[in-house]
Structure 1
């Protein structure tokens, strides 16, 4: 399927469009010629978050709407007349979920309820709901397929399990055409300092010592461009309503490996240490994530095409060019 042709002039809404993955997805849709509405969280600032990195012509081509995903009337008004809804709006920082768990329930679960209820009422043709590999918790099988048990090892992951089940229930109860995509750890340009890869890069540029959380946890890292291509396929592929689909590489490495790899690509030598403030509670830490992406290959004809080093180089270039926006001396939760 030619995805650019599929999305050309199609009316598409992206919630959470100002975020990391959301801005890349919005950009890809705008480049394909879609009629894109970008929902961002209202604030008094005129800035559009990561959408500010889009070229002026692309920014001028999208309709930016500011509001709150927790407001059902606002969500319904914004969903009206849309053909496809990509729902990415969420609170995603795990450490902050220990501080403000109720906020995660309101934004992630109630926000998802608002989206699928609006889609049900208004007859949207496809909702692509965003999950996360964190819902699986520490892997209890060699690789994680979509049938792996869900484990709420943090308030964040519990809220995303709840959101996934809301989307699933609307598919089963009302035939709402929802598809759930479950990205494993995504990285790339525009990612905030709350994630470990931009944290490593920004510290390597400005500090003598790299301070991280757990160094031995295993992560399956997917470049953001590949994640976006999976989202686009999930929005266009017919006959997959009700499915949940992993988006991951199927390879896993410890955090320390990525740190050493980044320092090598940057041609710098820095000490890497654990910072106790960055360590999750023992029973909450997810020790190993490695995806089985066979379902994505089968249903979406999707496989990641960007090598880790290629993706890391692009991320390093972005952080270097925007180092002023990274507070490498602080622990960003």
Structure 2
């Protein structure tokens, strides 16, 4: 039965994809962000089931008005300062958005009788992976500002679940990629250089193994968590279950684009943005999501890279010269 879903961070890359997918399957959506993007605003003029509302989750009265005016049935919480580098650059704002914004959201849910929220979390809450494949019971010892704030949001959700009967479900994804990734990191940098016919060499991190999940699979996992009638667990790894290296990623691009020359060196560990040391990574065990949610990733690395290339090529070809 279609429901009305509030999506926070709805103008962001992942949030907008969640909005589109919910509409496609027949739900009504209240899309909120601190600024409504032109794309979401335009979609709202064409789609009667979409309402776009500008609201700052850090401002309590705005969050309350959002719930009082629109009465959602459930929430997908994708609003955040995202990424290790960005969070490190603006730690105070990251705490305000990722932690205080989440608390305001949970409190407004409590006061308005909304029970379920799916919080888009991250593998950064785990810190260094202690084995090549980790499950949801792995210790959570984040090493980054981003991971620390997302873990705080998870824990506040647990408090609200225990004390107020909310259902705060955490979807821990990994390195999400796909068409139009807004951050200038791999595999976007690899793909765009290859399509321009330019060689690209990343000097470090070639042996870093990390689970990379295509955006459509991330959205599918979040919606499965949203729809499950009753949850035994409050956290699910949503990824692929395998961890290609950065060199594997470069080779996937080289296979997909004839003549591409994308290389990655071994000189030391990987640094996010060339400056923030990465935690030790690996693969996320997705057994729980498979068993409990029926989740199954549709995109392995090669298929995801090829889909990303196709969309990027189309965008580059249509751009004004």
Matched, 1:119 2:109: yes
2:162 is the counterpart of 1:172: yes
The residue that corresponds to 1:185 in the other structure is: 175
Mapped contact 2:84–2:272 kept (Cα < 8 A): no
Task: Report the counterpart of residue 3 of structure 1 in structure 2.
Answer: none
1:152 aligns with 2:142: yes
2 CA distance for matches of 1:54 and 1:219?
35
State the match for 1:331 in structure 2: none
Q: Secondary structure at the match of 1:218?
A: coil
Correspondence for 1:264: 255
Q: Residue 286 of structure 2 corresponds to which residue in structure 1?
A: 293
1:86 maps to which residue?
Answer: 76
Deviates further, 27-36 or 64-73 = 64-73
Note if 1:252 corresponds to 2:247.
Answer: no
Q: Deviations over 1:237-272 (max 9, x none)?
A: 112176111111110011121012112201123253
Q: What CA distance in whole angstroms lies between the structure 1 residues aligned with 2:156 and 2:194?
A: 41
Alpha-carbon distance between aligned partners in 1 of 2:75 and 2:272, rounded to the nearest angstrom? 38
Is residue 2:193 matched to residue 1:203? yes
Q: 1:46-92: per-residue Cα shift (whole Å, max 9, x none)?
A: 624xx48969845x541111122211211222233110100000011
Go from structure 1 to structure 2 and tell me whether the alpha carbon gap of 1:268 and 1:66 turns closer, same or farther (over 3 Å shift): farther
Taking the aligned partners of 1:195 and 1:278, their CA distance within structure 2 comes to 7
Distance between the aligned counterparts of 1:325 and 1:110, measured in 2? 41
Aligned residue number for residue 42 of structure 1:
35
Provide the rounded CA distance (Å) in 2 between the counterparts of 1:277 and 1:303: 29
Relative to the length of structure 2, the TM-score reads 0.89
Q: Structure 1 residues 68 and 139 mapped into 2: Cα distance closer, same or farther (>3 Å)? A: same
Separation in structure 2 between the aligned mates of residue 324 and residue 41 of structure 1, nearest angstrom:
31
How many residues align? The count is 312
2:152 is aligned with 1:162: yes
Q: Is 2:12 aligned against 1:22?
A: no
Secondary structure, aligned partner of 1:64:
strand
Q: Does 1:219 align with 2:219?
A: no
Looking at structure 1, the residues matched to 211 and 173 of structure 2 have their Cα atoms a distance apart, in angstroms, of 10
Distance in 2 separating the partners of 1:125 and 1:21: 23
Structure 1: distance between partners of 2:285 and 2:104: 31
- Quote the residue 1:229 is aligned against: 220
2-structure distance, mates of 1:214, 1:106: 32
2:24 to 16, 19, 31: 31
What TM-score does the superposition give when structure 1 sets the normalisation length? 0.86
